Amino acid sequence: MRIHYKRLAFPLLGLGLTLWVLGCQAGDADPPPPSAKPETETEAETEHLEAVRLEAVDLEDFAIVVDTAGPGTLAFTKTFPGEVRVNEDRFAHVVPRLSGIVQEVYVSLGDRVEAGQLMAVLESRELAELKANYLDALARLELAQATYEREARLYREKVSSEQEYLEARQALAEAQIALRSAAQKLLALGFSRRYIAALPNQPDSLLRVYQLRAPIRGTVVAKHIVQGEAVEAFTTVFTVADLSTVWVDLSIYQQDLVRIREGQRVTIVGLDHQEEGIISYVQPLVEEDRRTGLARVVLPNPHDRWKPGLFVTGQIVIERRAYEVVVPSSAVQTMDDHPIVFVPTPEGFVPRRIQIAAETDSLVAIADGLAPGEPVVVQGAFTLKAELEKEEIGEGHGH
Task: State mean pLDDT over 58-63.
Answer: 73
* CA-closest candidate to residue 93, choices 187, 184, 215: 215
Tens digits of residue pLDDT in 296-333: 999 999 988 999 999 999 999 988 999 999 999 999 99
**Confidence check: pLDDT of 85 > 60:** yes
CATH code of the domain made up of 1-87+243-399: 2.40.30.170
Sequence-ordered alpha helix ranges (H) in the chain: 9-26, 41-46, 56-61, 125-156, 162-188, 193-197, 381-398
Q: What is the mean pLDDT of the chain?
A: 84
- The arrangement of strands across the sheet holding 118-123 comes to 209-213, 118-123, 100-105, 230-231
Find all residues with CB under 8 Å of 267, minimum gap 6, and list them.
77, 274, 275, 276, 277, 314, 315
**Confidence check: pLDDT of 8 > 70:** no
Would you state the pLDDT for residue 55? 63
- Rounded CA separation 347/341 (Å): 16
Would you state the pLDDT for residue 123? 95
Task: State mean pLDDT over 6-32.
Answer: 32
CATH code of the domain made up of 89-123+211-242: 2.40.50.100
Using CA atoms, how far residue 362 sits from 103, 200, 240, 330, 371, in Å, is: 62, 74, 43, 8, 20
* CA-closest candidate to residue 255, choices 280, 294, 292: 292
Would you state the pLDDT for residue 43? 47
Tens digits of residue pLDDT in 193-222: 999 999 999 898 889 999 999 999 999 999
How many beta carbons lie within 10 A of that of residue 88, not counting itself?
9
- Rounded CA separation 215/379 (Å): 57
Residue 47: band (very low, low, confident or very high) from pLDDT cuts 50, 70, 90: very low
Question: What is the separation of C-alpha 306 from the centre of its chain, rounded to a whole number of angstroms?
Answer: 9
| Minimum mean pLDDT range among 21-35, 184-198, 350-364 | 21-35
**Confidence check: pLDDT of 40 > 50:** no
- Rounded CA separation 335/396 (Å): 17
* CA-closest candidate to residue 297, choices 130, 117, 87: 87
Would you state the pLDDT for residue 134? 96
List the chain domain ranges.
1-87+243-399, 89-123+211-242, 125-207
DSSP percent split of the chain into helix, strand, coil, nearest 5: 35, 35, 30
**Confidence check: pLDDT of 19 > 60:** no
Residue type, 363: L
0.85 exceeded by pTM? no
Tens digits of residue pLDDT in 363-396: 999 999 999 999 999 999 998 888 888 766 655 5
Residue 18: band (very low, low, confident or very high) from pLDDT cuts 50, 70, 90: very low
292-300/274-282 β-pairing? antiparallel
Tens digits of residue pLDDT in 91-132: 999 999 999 999 999 999 999 999 999 999 999 999 999 999
Would you state the pLDDT for residue 9? 31
